[in-house]
A = this chain, B = another copy of it.
Amino acid sequence: MISDSQRKHILHRFRLKVTSARLFVLDILIRSDVALSHNDILSQARDPQLDKVTLYRTLDAFVKSGLAHKVATEDRNWLYALHHNDQKESFEDDHAHFVCDECERIYCVPVVPAGKLQISNSDQSFTVRSHEYRLHGTCPQCQ
Contacts and interface: CB of A to CB of B under 8 A. Distances in A.
Interface of A: 72, 74, 76-78, 89, 96, 98, 101, 107, 109-112, 114-121, 124-140, 143
A114 B109 CA distance: 20
Nearest to A119: B109
A127 to B, nearest CB: 4
Contacts of A74: 72
Contacts of A72: 72, 74, 76
28 contacts: A72-B72, A72-B74, A72-B76, A96-B119, A98-B128, A107-B126, A111-B117, A111-B118, A111-B119, A112-B119, A114-B117, A117-B133, A124-B140, A126-B135, A126-B138, A128-B136, A129-B138, A130-B135, A130-B137, A131-B133, A131-B134, A131-B136, A132-B132, A132-B133, A132-B134, A132-B136, A133-B133, A134-B134
B133 A137 contact: no
Most B CB within 10 A of own CB, among A76, A89, A121, A134:
A121
Contacts of A77: 76
A137 B143 contact: no
Contacts of A107: 126
A44 to B, nearest CB: 22
